[in-house]
Chains A and B, each alone.
Chain A
């Protein structure tokens, strides 16, 4: 059996290594997979917000061109923009809330990881990756839900003309916008929960609920 042999003195204490992102990525993926239902609910919020955004934008693409100077058109556009902004804000608050709950739920796990040698920055990465992954997948699905609905409605109204109504380029651009907004909002929503997680004291690992 090996016995413990250690150098002593300050010289023997080094700085803890920064881990490659892939390590945090693996653990974040594990967290999503195992807590799938929770992840699904968190993702549903972003998914719906992005679906709504995409549907509104796609509807404009498929609709016959309107007179941009008509006050009614301008008013309708403004109202829609407001609705989209509000719904995206709601989903952001939703993600933030779910992630805050995830941090509160996992205080012992976070404290334990810190006892085992995790740096604060690692904990931050873990939470950003977890929500970022959800954001990417949810935005992607959200785009297809939103666009799919508009496409079906227009297929019903216009018939096969709908296939050539909007260029692939325009759709690709919309997908890019949807993804960018979805991921950006998820990341913004995770700032507060991630800071809260990083500040969790390692002594939290000892807490025993009675």
Chain B
């Protein structure tokens, strides 16, 4: 019954529909997301911006299949995540989504290469193939010479590069990043952002990044501004450039 379509069939890689997420804190109900609807194009670089507590990480959890919405639905590659059982959800996380975290989250007891091959191990890829692809990915992020280093033997920027290679392990449709530059200095953060942009352009992987980092604005295709769990506005970069131009024009 399942005739396989390829991605050309669908323009949107993620569709978020009327998502509400409430957290129960004793008697108090916190509404972290308050009716979010958002379509994300295949291959775009999308930044989610907003003040602290606005719901960015909560939205990350919903899109990443890490938590379930209180109401509303999230589709990844046209699959309604609410319809999936735990094993299918694990498959989706393993194959369709790559995660990048503010705190890098490498497995501390494993080397860079072991970290990158771990998602392939979970996917059932053979050890030889995983090794080969792992080396390829680490080389791609500029760490071909640090395959056997432990996370503690790597700088923050290098750890985040390993995490990016790991996120690409099973060729996901989307990469989700929550504050990927939050724990990095200005220069290293910039390098990481440039690496993400390069992967987005060259490999066509959709990147969705929650961030405070204004450096992200320059390279994003679209920026979603969120406040108090609601989408305030969605901006195209071209509009942004226009505005910057206007400001500069007025000043000059």
Which of B77, B107, B122, B170 contacts A19, CB < 8 Å? B122
Return chain A residues, CB-CB under 8 Å to B60: 206
Could you tell me if A108 and B79 are in contact, using CB atoms closer than 8 angstroms? no
8 A Cβ contacts from B33-86 to A = 43, 57, 60-61, 64, 66-67, 77-80, 83-86
Return chain B residues, CB-CB under 8 Å to A9: 2, 4-5, 77-79
A: number of interface residues (CB 8 Å): 42
Q: Does B243 contact A (CB under 8 A)?
A: no
Q: Does B26 contact A (CB under 8 A)?
A: no
Per the bound structure, the CA–CA distance linking A12 and B3 in Å amounts to 9
Closest Cβ–Cβ distance, residue A122 to chain B (whole Å): 8
Could you tell me if B171 and A19 are in contact, using CB atoms closer than 8 angstroms? no
Per the bound structure, the CA–CA distance linking A5 and B202 in Å amounts to 13
Which of B5, B7, B122 contacts A116, CB < 8 Å? B122
Mark A125-151 against chain B: 1 for CB-CB distance below 8 A, else 0. Answer: 000000000000000000000000000
Quick check: which of A63-71, A85-93, A197-205 contacts chain B, the rest being far away? A197-205
Mark A104-136 against chain B: 1 for CB-CB distance below 8 A, else 0. Answer: 000011001111111110100000000000000
Return chain B residues, CB-CB under 8 Å to A114: 90, 93
Asked if A201 meets B7 with Cβ closer than 8 Å, knowing A4-B204, A35-B109, A208-B102, the reply is: no
The A/B interface has a contact count, at CB < 8 Å, of 147
Return chain B residues, CB-CB under 8 Å to A176: none
Could you tell me if B109 and A34 are in contact, using CB atoms closer than 8 angstroms? yes
Could you tell me if A115 and B66 are in contact, using CB atoms closer than 8 angstroms? yes
Per the bound structure, the CA–CA distance linking A208 and B104 in Å amounts to 11
8 A Cβ contacts from B169-193 to A = 170-173, 178, 182
Per the bound structure, the CA–CA distance linking A10 and B75 in Å amounts to 10
Asked if A11 meets B109 with Cβ closer than 8 Å, knowing A116-B122, A206-B178, the reply is: no
Closest residue on chain A to residue B65 by CB atoms? A202
Return chain A residues, CB-CB under 8 Å to B202: 1
Closest residue on chain B to residue A32 by CB atoms? B109
Which of B57, B91, B103 contacts A16, CB < 8 Å? B91
Q: Does B205 contact A (CB under 8 A)?
A: yes
Which of B80, B102, B122 contacts A118, CB < 8 Å? B122
Return chain A residues, CB-CB under 8 Å to B91: 13-16, 117
Return chain B residues, CB-CB under 8 Å to A208: 102-103, 182
Which of A7, A13, A23, A206 contacts B5, CB < 8 Å? A7
Closest residue on chain A to residue B172 by CB atoms? A4
Closest Cβ–Cβ distance, residue B4 to chain A (whole Å): 4
Closest Cβ–Cβ distance, residue B180 to chain A (whole Å): 12
Per the bound structure, the CA–CA distance linking A4 and B203 in Å amounts to 6
Mark B102-120 against chain A: 1 for CB-CB distance below 8 A, else 0. Answer: 1101011110000000110
Return chain A residues, CB-CB under 8 Å to B145: none
Closest Cβ–Cβ distance, residue B221 to chain A (whole Å): 16
Could you tell me if B94 and A205 are in contact, using CB atoms closer than 8 angstroms? no
Which of B80, B85, B96 contacts A6, CB < 8 Å? B96
Closest residue on chain B to residue A12 by CB atoms? B4
In order of increasing CB-CB distance, the 9 nearest A-B pairs are A11-B2, A117-B94, A117-B122, A3-B204, A16-B90, A15-B87, A34-B109, A17-B124, A8-B77
6 contacts between A and B (CB under 8 A): A3-B203, A4-B206, A8-B5, A15-B87, A115-B64, A206-B102
Using CB atoms and an 8 Å cutoff, list the residues of chain A in contact with chain B.
Answer: 1-17, 19, 23, 30-31, 33-35, 108-109, 112-120, 122, 201-203, 205-206, 208
